[in-house]
Structure 1
Amino acid sequence: MTDSSSPSSTLTDDVLASFEGHRRELCAYAYRMLGSSFEAEDAVQETFTRAWKSYDSFEGRASLRSWLYKITTNVCLDMLDGPQRRARPMDLNGPSRPDSVLPAPQPDYVWIEPIPNALAFGADPAEHASTRDTLRLAFVAACQHLPATQRAILIMREVLRFSASETAEALTMSPASVNSALQRARATMSKVQPAVTDDYDEADEDQRRLVENFVSAFEAYDMDTLTTLLKADVALSMPPIELWISGPENVAAFMLGSGSACAGSKLVRLEGANGHVAFGHYKPSEEPGVYIPWSITVLELEGDTIAGLNFFLDTERLFPLFDLPMEMREPVA
C-alpha cells in the first residue's frame, strides 16, 4: 500500500485536483460539441484519463487549461467520427397534427439532450451570464449543422475566446486555416441559428409570474389559461418521439388528446437546464397519491410568452442526472 503522505501520492492528489478545477467548463465545451450531457461527462472522464497518462510529458509548455482543452477536443473529434448529428424534432420535419398517432421512439443518439445547469455553469454569476446563451438548446442544435472541426473552431474562438493561434495549436492546424474555417462556420450558423430570445431573469417580476402561471395552469390542466401564456408559434416537442406540435390551439388539443395522461401532474422546479427554466415532471400513477416520472420539462421563453415546451421523456437516464427520485408521494394527512 502506498503511504498517503509520500511525495508521489501528494503529486497525484495535486494533479487530479488541478484537473477537477476545470471539469465544469470542459463538460460545457464537450456538451456543445456532442449535444449529449452523458457523452460530455464521458468525454471529460476520458480527457482526465489521457491527461493523467501523459502528464509527465506536459512539462508546462502551455497552460494546463489550454492543454486540457486540446485533449478534450481530440476526444470529442474521436467521438464524432461519423455522419450522425443530434437534432431536435423541429430540425427533422414539419409540425404534426395534434391528433396524429404517436410514432415509435427514436434511439437516444438522435436527439439533443438537456444538461443540468450544475454540470455546465460555474458559481460565478458573471460567467453564467456570459456563457448561458451558448448552452441554449437552439444554439447547441445549430452547432450540430457544422462539421466537427468547424464546430470546435467556432466554439473555441467565439465562445471560449481562444486566439487563432491557441485554436490552431489545439487542432494541429495553421492560424490561417482556423480563420478560414471560422468564416465558413459563421456563414452556416447565420442560416440555421435562431435569434436568442430566452432572457429569463429571476429578478424580473413579470417573467417570474409567467413561470408561476404556467405551473398553476399545467398542474390544474387548465388549457384555456395555458394557451394565453404561449407564443403564437410555440413549439411542443417530446424527444425521443419525433412528433412535434406548433401553435397554442394545437398544443391544447394535443394535451387534451394524446397527452391527456399528463392531467394531474406535479412539476418540481429545478435549478435549470441549458440556462432555461426546467422542471422534473411527475404524472399520477395507478396508486393514489403516488407520482412517477414523465419528463424533464424545459421552457424556452420569449419576452412575456413561452416559445418552447420541451418534454424530454427518457426519465430512466435523465432523472438521476438531475438528482430526482424515481417516485414522488403526497404527504399522508
Structure 2
Amino acid sequence: MSADTRLEELGVSGLGEVDEPAFTGLAERHRRELHVHCYRMLGSFEDAEDTVQETFLRAWRRRETFQGRSTFRAWLYRIATNACLDLLEKVRPEPATGGEVLWLQPYPDRLLDELPAGHADEPETLAVARETIELAYLVAVQHLAPRPRAVLILRDVLGWPAKDVAELLGDSVNSVNSALQRARAGLREHLPAERQDWTGGEEDAGTRELVRRYTDASVAANIPALTSMVREDVRTSMPPTPGLYVGRDTVVKYWIESGFEGMTGLRAVPTSANRQPAIAYYHWRQQEDAYLPLTIDVLRITGGAVTEITTFHDDQFPRFGLPERLPADSTD
C-alpha cells in the first residue's frame, strides 16, 4: 500500500471500521517522516519522539474524523503539526541571547536513511531534504514564532499548497502567504552568511580529507593543527550546556581553558548527523579498562575549513548505534 493511502485503498468506508492493530500498522509506516517533521519544528529529537506518540494517540482517538478528503498521510501531518504547535505554546523558550538553542539535539543519518524515497532521486528534492535538516537550518528555524515556522516547513519543505496550510491553521490564504514571506525573511536573518548560497551535494574528497585531519588532530589534542583547520569566524557550542564561542581566537582560548590542550587517552569513531560529518570521541577510563563515550562533534564545513562545531554529550551515543565502549587495544 502506498504512502498516500486513501479510504478506498483501505477497503473501508471510514477509519472507524479499522481496529487498533490495523490502525497502528498504517500509522507506523509514516513514523520516521513524521518524526523528522516534528524534529524540524521542535529542534529536539526527544521532543519529536514524544510528539509523534501524541500524534498517533490523537489520530486513533479522532479516527472517525478522517473522511478521505485528503490522504491518510496528509491527515497525520496535520495532527502532528498541531501537536507541535501545542507543545511550543506550552513549554518552548526563546533561543538564548546570541542565538543559542540549548534544546538542540542531533539527528543520526542512519535514521534519516529510513525516510521513504518518494522523489528523492530528483536533484531539487534531494537538495531541499539535505538543506533543511542541517543544524544551521534547525537553529535558524527555532528563532521563528511557532505558526510562521509551521507555514515555512509545510510550504517550503513539504510543498503543501497555501490553501491546505490555511485550512490546517484556520487562516486565510493571504495570511499564510504573508506569514511565509515573514518566515523566509526571518530564516535568512538567522542563517550563516555563507549558508545563504547553500548548494548541497555529497561530501567531496577534500571534505573527507579535512574531516580525517581534524579527527587526527583532535585525538592528539593538537590545538595548533586544529587552529589551522577552522575559519576565522568559527563558532562552537555544546547544547544543552550554555556557551556560544565565536571567532578562532575565542574558540582556541576556550579549548585551552577547558583543559583540552594536552588531553590524552582519546579515540574516535566517524559517524554522521543531519547530513553533516560527525566524530564520536571515547576517553580512556582505567577503572573500566576501556574507552568510554565522551562527546560527538558535528561539523559544518565551508570552503575547505571548519565553520561550526556543535558538540553533544555522551547521552546521544545510543541512538547513533555507536559502541558502548572501545576495548583497550582499539585504534583511532
Report the TM-score, using the length of structure 1 for normalisation: 0.82
1:49 is displaced (CA, Å) by 1.6
Q: Distance in 2 between matches of 1:280 and 1:75?
A: 33
**Corresponding residue for residue 57 of structure 2:** 49
Q: Which residue of 1 aligns with 2:167?
A: 169
- The match for 1:319 is 317
Question: Shift of the alpha carbon at 1:120?
Answer: 3.8
Shift of 1:181: 1.5
Show CA shifts across 1:265-307 (max 9, x none): 222112x211211122212224485222221211111121110
CA contact (8 A) 2:102 2:241 kept: no
Distance in 2, matches of 1:186 and 1:42, equals 28
- Tell me what 1:103 maps to: none
Instruction: Classify 1:168/1:265 alpha carbon distance in 2 versus 1 (closer, same or farther; 3 Å).
Output: same
Q: Deviations over 1:13-55 (max 9, x none)?
A: 4433332222222111111111100001111111112112222
Structure 1 stretches of 5 or more lacking a match? 1-6, 93-108
More RCO (CA 8 Å, sep 6+): 1
- Give, in angstroms, the shift of residue 198 of structure 1: 8.3
83-92 or 290-299, larger mean C-alpha shift: 83-92
Q: Residue in 1 aligned with 2:103?
A: 111
Q: What is the match of residue 33 of structure 1?
A: 41
Deviation for aligned residue 1:150:
0.9
1:253 CA drift (Å): 3.7
Partners in 2 of 1:46 and 1:83 — Cα distance?
15
Using the alignment, how far apart are the partners of 2:321 and 2:191 within structure 1? 31
RMSD of aligned residue pairs (Cα, Å): 2.8
Q: CA deviation at 1:166?
A: 1.2
Deviates more, 1:236-245 or 1:31-40: 236-245
Offset from partner CA, 1:299-331 (integer Å, 9 cap, x none): 111121110111112x23x12222234432223
2:211 matched residue in structure 1:
211
SS in 2 for 1:173: coil
TM-aligned CA deviation for residue 78 of structure 1: 0.9
Distance change (3 Å), C-alpha of 1:207 and 1:198: farther
Runs of 4+ in 1 over 6 A off after TM superposition: 7-10
Cα separation, 2, equivalents of 1:71 and 1:77: 10
Q: 1:304 to 1:11 in 2, by over 3 A?
A: same
What is the aligned partner in structure 2 of residue 275 from structure 1?
Answer: 275
Q: Quick one: structure 1 residues 182 and 60, their matched pair in 2 at CA, closer, same or farther if it must change by over 3 Å?
A: same
Is the Cα–Cα contact under 8 Å of residues 267 and 282 in structure 1 kept in the other structure?
Answer: yes
CA contact (8 A) 2:127 2:201 kept: no
Does residue 304 of structure 1 match 2:307? no
- In structure 2, which of residues 72, 75, 86 is the aligned counterpart of residue 78 of structure 1? 86
Residues 50, 332 of structure 1: CA spacing in aligned structure 2 closer, same or farther, 3 A cutoff? closer
State the match for 1:63 in structure 2. Answer: 71
Give, as a single letter, the amino acid of the residue that structure 2 aligns with 1:187: A
CA shift digits 1:39-98 (9 cap, x unpaired): 011111111121122223313121112101110011101101147336478515xxxxxx
Distance 1:210 1:168 in 2: 45
What is the rounded CA distance, in whole Å, between the counterparts of 2:253 and 2:232 in structure 1?
Answer: 15
Partner AA of 1:136 in structure 2: E
Choose 277-286 or 246-255, whichever is displaced more: 246-255
